[in-house]
Amino acid sequence: MTRTVKNLTLKVWRQNGPDDKGHFETHVIDSITDEASFLEMLDVLNERLIDENKEAIVFDHDCREGICGTCSLMINGQAHGPQRATTTCQLHLRSFNDNDTIVIEPWRASAFPIIKDLMVDRAAFDRIVESGGFITSPTGGAPDANLIPVPKPVADAAMDAAACIGCGACVAACPNSAANLFVGAKITHLNLLPQGQAERYKRAEAMVDEMDEHFGSCTNHGECSAACPKEISLDVIALMNKDYRSAKFKNRKQLSRK
């Protein structure tokens, strides 16, 4: 198999901390195989920077298998780069042309403050999951498998929503920094399944209210779904809106008894 070798110019965002102004820094990558992944290219660059006694570029990464949701990066104005349904770690240099200039920026949202260079703090997502992204599960012996019947189409739809890895590409891609796709996915995942019914409406209300503390509002551009490495559908946002409305009415009925 012949290996194609590419030369690339990188414009990388460098920022020395949350309060630093930040700037783009240009680096030239000479002859790198296009079988390298995007993050491997950054590894190669970082090795060189360390050899030159310069500070390595800070970026988030973990599993490098496209399933953990840790990697990020706005690449040429697209979250996770030009290839659809792909995380940055699974993006390879074959998606780029020889002598391309690639601009790399961190996710930008007020709720995702930059820690350093390309690394952002996505704790706002944790706050949202804490507020309702769980189910009441009985302790004790493990129940028999398939004890609770779940219709196949429901299981499929819930699984599609559960594919969300919480990377934050939806927020990064959204012109309004809205997290509706993420929250919609979490709510859809649990609210469709029988196991999630106990907290269904409390969950919808709590998670949407928490989302409101951090993020912008949905204007139905569809950028989130296009950027999502797991191709979560905009349908989850509609379900979230519906359950939030129901929650407002249902919860009030319960609370009025106080």
Q: Which residues bind another protein (CB under 8 A)?
A: 11, 13, 22, 24, 74, 76-78, 82, 103, 105, 108-111, 130-132, 134, 136, 173, 175-178, 180, 199, 202, 206, 208-212, 214-223, 225-227, 234-235, 237-245, 248-249, 252, 255, 258
- Helix axes 200-214 and 123-132, enclosed angle (nearest 10): 160
Residue 133: count of CB within 10 angstroms of its CB? 21
Residue ranges of E strands in 18-127: 23-33, 74-75, 78-79, 101-105, 114-116, 119-120
Least CB distance from residue 232 to another protein, whole Å? 13
H helix and E strand count, the chain: 8, 7
Least CB distance from residue 142 to another protein, whole Å? 21
For residue 218, CA distances in Å to 70, 179, 196, 233 come to: 24, 8, 25, 14
Distance in angstroms (rounded) separating the CA atoms of residues 247 and 252? 8
Q: What is the DSSP string of 86-111?
A: --GGG-BGGGS-TT-EEEEE---BTT
Distance in angstroms (rounded) separating the CA atoms of residues 80 and 86? 7
- Phi first, then psi: what are they for 146, rounded to 5°? 60, 25
User: What residues contact 158, with CB distance under 8 A and at least 6 apart?
Assistant: 150, 188, 189, 190, 192, 193
Nearer to another protein, 93 or 208 (CB): 208
Residue 159 corresponds to which tokens in the numbers above? 């699984």
Q: How far apart are the first and last CA of the chain?
A: 73
User: What residues contact 143, with CB distance under 8 A and at least 6 apart?
Assistant: none
